[in-house]
């Protein structure tokens, strides 16, 4: 066992070298760039202090971008969790119908965002889209899903949810399976109706699942890029741009890497703050049984 140190190094080095080079170093570089005026091309650039952040918070378009990002995050998180719990409760049995539906709901989760966005941009087209064809056939009038930036953002959020709600449902299903059946039977004996049982047994005991799902939904919602890129490209006129789209555009099309890094850092700080808040809330609400 004398050779421990040597073998430890052999085992640890490859992974940690890659991790440090392509995770830790870039994070540090991102912070560093956010204080510089680097354009991504020239070899010389200088520190400009907090100037990027000041410009960012004076930039009306950045507030628009933040607003879009937050709306997508809130809408998707609510749907993921509310509808996720409802679906899990509906599908939590051994019946054939439930098992087929579970598979169906999960299929989009394995599909790429790009593909899903293409399918749905056909579904919601104003002229010749499937949804509008059905509405017209039923005698209604066509809906313009892209009428305002806000409706467009809602539609995109819905598409994002269609894409990945399966994941959240699976987490809720597996959390549901940890709840002892005796609790429900005892409650039934005491005469509790289904809503009481849901409110006082299911919901509190789902807390661990809710914590994970909320953290994942919030962090995921704030990082959106793929669907928006395919469906609107951030347009019209940047009205549906998310923070990620904004930073990619600033970095690669306008060559303002320093400025772009500052936007990324703001996003990162928001994610960290929201995660910490959620963790501390969930600590207070988890129950022992």
Partner 1 sequence: MKKASVGLLVKNVLVLVFALIYLAPLYIAAVNSIKPYDEVIKAPLQLPVKATLQNFADAFQSSNMLALYQNSILITGLSVVLLIIITSMAAYIIARRTGKLYQALYIFSLAGIMIPPIVTLIPSIKTLSALHLLYTMPGLLLFYGGTYFSTTIFIYVGYIKTIPKSIDESAYMDGANPITTFFRIIFPLVKPCTATAVIFLGMWIWNDFLNPMYILGFSGGKTITTGIYNAIGTYTSKWNLVFANVLLASLPIIIAYLFMQKIFMKGLTSGAVKG
Of 50, 126, 128, 196, which one interacts with partner 1 (CB under 8 A)?
128
Distance CA 64, CA 153 (A): 12
Distance CA 67, CA 58 (A): 15
Subset of 178-217 contacting partner 1 (CB under 8 A): 194, 208-209, 212, 216
Subset of 142-161 contacting partner 1 (CB under 8 A): none
Distance CA 206, CA 186 (A): 18
Of 176, 223, 235, 282, which one interacts with partner 1 (CB under 8 A)?
223
CA 212 to chain centre: 12
Distance CA 210, CA 81 (A): 7
Q: Which stretch binds partner 1 (CB under 8 A): 51-59, 69-77, 199-207, 269-277?
A: 269-277
Closer CB to partner 1, 5 or 284, in the complex: 5
Q: Which stretch binds partner 1 (CB under 8 A): 46-54, 125-133, 196-204, 279-287?
A: 125-133
- What is the helix, strand, coil percentage profile of the chain, to 5? 75, 0, 25
Is residue 139 near partner 1 by the rule CB under 8 A?
no
- List the structure tokens of 225: 């890029």
Subset of 54-113 contacting partner 1 (CB under 8 A): 87, 90-91, 97-98, 100-101, 103-108, 110-113
Is residue 133 near partner 1 by the rule CB under 8 A?
yes
Is residue 229 near partner 1 by the rule CB under 8 A?
yes
Minimum CB distance to partner 1, residue 63 (Å):
19
Closer CB to partner 1, 68 or 173, in the complex: 173
Is residue 272 near partner 1 by the rule CB under 8 A?
yes
Burial of 238 (C-beta count, 10 Å sphere; 0-12/13-18/19+): middle
Of 70, 78, 143, 170, which one interacts with partner 1 (CB under 8 A)?
170
As a whole number of Å, the end-to-end CA separation of the chain is: 44
Q: Which stretch binds partner 1 (CB under 8 A): 21-29, 67-75, 148-156, 279-287?
A: 21-29
Minimum CB distance to partner 1, residue 231 (Å):
11
Q: Which stretch binds partner 1 (CB under 8 A): 46-54, 145-153, 166-174, 199-207?
A: 166-174
Closer CB to partner 1, 158 or 238, in the complex: 158
Minimum CB distance to partner 1, residue 224 (Å):
10
- List the structure tokens of 197: 């049982």
Whether residue 62 contacts residue 238, with contact meaning beta carbons closer than 8 Å, is answered with: no
Is residue 16 near partner 1 by the rule CB under 8 A?
yes
Select from 152, 147, 174, 173 the least CA-distant residue to 87: 173
Residue 15 CA: distances (Å) to CA of 12, 19, 24, 28, 30: 6, 6, 12, 19, 22
């Amino acid at each position: 066992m004398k050779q421990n140190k040597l073998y430890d190094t052999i085992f640890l080095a490859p992974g940690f070298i890659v991790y440090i080079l392509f995770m830790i170093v870039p994070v540090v570089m991102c912070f560093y760039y956010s204080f510089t005026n680097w354009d991504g091309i020239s070899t010389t650039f200088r520190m400009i202090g907090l100037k990027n952040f000041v410009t960012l918070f004076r930039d009306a378009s950045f507030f628009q971008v933040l607003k879009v990002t937050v709306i997508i995050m809130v809408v998707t998180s609510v749907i993921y969790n509310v509808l996720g719990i409802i679906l899990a409760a509906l599908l939590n049995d051994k019946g054939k119908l439930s098992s087929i539906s579970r598979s169906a709901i999960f299929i989009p989760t394995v599909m790429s965002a790009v593909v899903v966005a293409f399918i749905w941009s056909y579904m919601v087209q104003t002229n010749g889209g499937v949804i509008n064809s059905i509405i017209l056939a039923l005698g209604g009038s066509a809906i313009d899903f892209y009428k305002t930036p806000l409706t467009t953002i809602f539609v995109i959020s819905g598409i994002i949810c269609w894409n990945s709600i399966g994941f959240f449902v699976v987490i809720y299903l597996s959390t549901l399976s940890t709840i002892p059946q005796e609790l429900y039977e005892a409650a039934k004996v005491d005469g509790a109706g289904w809503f009481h049982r849901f409110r006082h047994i299911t919901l509190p005991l789902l807390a661990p699942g809710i914590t994970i799902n909320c953290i994942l939904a919030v962090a995921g919602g704030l990082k959106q890029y793929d669907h928006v890129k395919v469906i609107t490209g951030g347009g019209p006129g940047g009205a549906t741009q998310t923070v990620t789209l904004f930073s990619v555009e600033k970095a690669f099309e306008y060559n303002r890497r320093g400025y772009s890094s500052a936007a990324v850092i703001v996003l990162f700080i928001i994610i960290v703050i929201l995660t910490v808040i959620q963790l501390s809330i969930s600590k207070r609400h988890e129950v022992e049984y």
